[in-house]
């Protein structure tokens, strides 16, 4: 592993990722690190505990990941342990980790998973865990490690990206609410914005005819996302809107995922247009273009969501969100008519209603775009991190 280094003087903040792979939590945390490195006296570095992962039927290499490349492009030092997440942490790995932690003033752990490694080395710096789920019961041994490190005083704060996250972790662990501050997710409004040219171009690329509706599911292929419910709902929708297009993107949402293609083949067998109008695009880095092409950005998740970035990003581009009632999703979309029950008939009916009222919903959402901004998120992170830094370090940074 290349040595973890910090650029220039100032409070040194080490972020730990269990790996680099496609997903909203890593995108959000990467944006936070880039912003704080650029706009505060804090000096940030990132340590990835693996250099490759196998998820959602794909092998994802850290150095090819968009978040990894964005951090490096912003001048943030990134180091990787040469291992896969399932590989044991060898003495050399633990020695590298201990040196990296000792060189920091504050450690940020992206989710609970990196805490297992931290528990095996000496940690004399405050650790802030960043939580991005609303289902602590599905986090395996990471939850027990979180509780243990809070009790030992190693983890001092656990930032929650949603109110549902705070409520769930407080109930599951008994961690005091004052140690579970809520910092709501936000998005880059300069990057995610309405663009008529992008809308026209992408719809043309997809072969969308006229005003035919486009439904976008931006999610990884995972039981949490309940892609099966999405497919069953699409089958109901196709009977009413045979010209509709479905766009699926994210890790595992690609033609080489046999589980996905079998699901679509079986679930949409009665829809003649499925082979032309269902688009499996995999991991994409041009998400603003896709959101602009869509009429609806949807989620059919069964559990686990907290503050889904796909809904925020789609809304910022003018797409109408329709979601199941998971995490903070209902509060985020701001209209109960856009929140559906978890059955295909209800989901399809919600999509149809949103099509009919698209202009009304889009105008309302765009009037409220500013509330989606990520700047408040960055400011809150900066303040929390600053509050963890020892006074003598702050004096040196002045």
Percent of the chain, pLDDT > 70?
96
Q: Where are the domains of the chain?
A: 12-185+374-397, 196-372
Q: Is 392 left (phi over 0), alpha (psi -120 to 50) or beta?
A: alpha
Token couple for 209: 């005819």
- β-pairing, 278-282 vs 127-131, is unpaired
**Confidence band of 396 (pLDDT split at 50, 70, 90):** very low
Q: Residue 390 pLDDT > 80, yes or no?
A: no
Within this chain, domains 12-185+374-397 and 196-372 share the same CATH topology: yes
pLDDT mean over 22-26: 91
pLDDT value of residue 140: 87
DSSP string, 362-374: HHHHHHTGGGGBS
Q: Which of 212-216, 236-240, 358-362 has the lowest mean pLDDT?
A: 358-362
Per-residue pLDDT tens digits for 72-123: 999 999 999 999 988 999 999 999 999 999 999 999 999 999 999 999 999 9
Percent of the chain, pLDDT > 90?
86
C-alpha span between 135 and 168 (Å, rounded): 7
pLDDT value of residue 122: 94
CATH C-level class of 196-372:
alpha beta
Per-residue pLDDT tens digits for 163-222: 999 999 999 999 999 999 999 999 999 999 999 999 999 999 999 999 999 999 999 999
Average pLDDT over the chain, rounded to whole? 94
Phi and psi at residue 374, in whole multiples of 5°? Answer: -85, -5
Element holding 122 (H helix, E strand): none
CA–CA distances in Å: residue 73 to residues 46, 76, 110, 358: 13, 7, 20, 38
**Confidence band of 392 (pLDDT split at 50, 70, 90):** low
Query: Three-state SS across 271-316?
Result: CCCHHHHEEEEECCCCHHHHHHHCCEEEECCCCCCCCCHHHHHHHH
- Has domain 12-185+374-397 been given CATH number 3.40.50.2000? yes
**Confidence band of 59 (pLDDT split at 50, 70, 90):** confident
């Amino acid at each position: 592993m290349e040595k973890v280094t910090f650029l220039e003087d100032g409070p040194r903040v080490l972020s730990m990722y269990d790996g680099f792979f496609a997903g909203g939590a890593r995108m959000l945390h990467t944006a936070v690190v880039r912003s704080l490195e650029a706009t505060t006296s804090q000096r940030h570095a990132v340590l990835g505990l693996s250099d490759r992962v196998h998820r959602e039927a794909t092998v994802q290499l850290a150095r090819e990941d968009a978040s990894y490349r964005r951090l490096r492009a912003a001048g943030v030092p990134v180091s990787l342990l040469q291992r896969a997440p399932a590989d044991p942490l060898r003495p050399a790995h633990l020695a590298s980790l201990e040196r990296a932690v000792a060189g920091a003033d504050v450690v940020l752990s992206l989710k609970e998973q990196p805490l297992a490694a931290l528990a095996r080395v000496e940690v004399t710096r405050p650790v802030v865990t960043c939580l991005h789920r609303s289902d602590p019961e599905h986090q395996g041994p990471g939850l027990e490690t979180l509780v243990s490190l809070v009790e030992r005083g190693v983890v001092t704060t656990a930032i929650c990206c949603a109110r549902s996250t705070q409520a769930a972790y407080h109930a599951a662990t008994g961690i005091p609410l004052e140690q579970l501050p809520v910092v709501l997710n936000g998005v880059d409004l300069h990057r995610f914005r309405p663009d008529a040219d992008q809308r026209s171009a992408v719809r043309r690329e997809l072969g969308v005819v006229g005003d035919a509706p486009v439904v976008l599911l931006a999610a990884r292929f995972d039981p949490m996302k309940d892609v099966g419910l999405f497919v069953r709902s699409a089958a109901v929708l196709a009977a009413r809107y045979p010209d509709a297009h479905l766009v699926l993107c994210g890790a595992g949402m690609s033609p080489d995922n046999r589980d996905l293609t079998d699901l679509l083949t079986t679930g949409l067998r009665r829809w003649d247009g499925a082979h032309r109008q269902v688009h499996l695009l995999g991991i994409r880095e041009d998400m603003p273009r896709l959101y602009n092409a869509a009429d609806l950005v949807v989620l059919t998740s069964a559990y686990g969501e907290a503050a889904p970035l796909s809904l925020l990003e789609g809304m910022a581009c003018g797409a109408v969100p329709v979601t199941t009632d998971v995490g903070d999703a209902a509060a985020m979309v701001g209209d109960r008519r856009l929140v559906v029950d978890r059955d295909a008939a209800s989901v399809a009916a919600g999509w149809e209603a949103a099509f009919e009222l698209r202009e009304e919903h889009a105008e309302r959402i765009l009037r409220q775009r500013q509330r989606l901004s990520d700047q408040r998120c960055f400011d809150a992170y900066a303040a929390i991190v600053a509050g963890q830094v020892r006074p003598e370090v702050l004096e040196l940074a002045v």
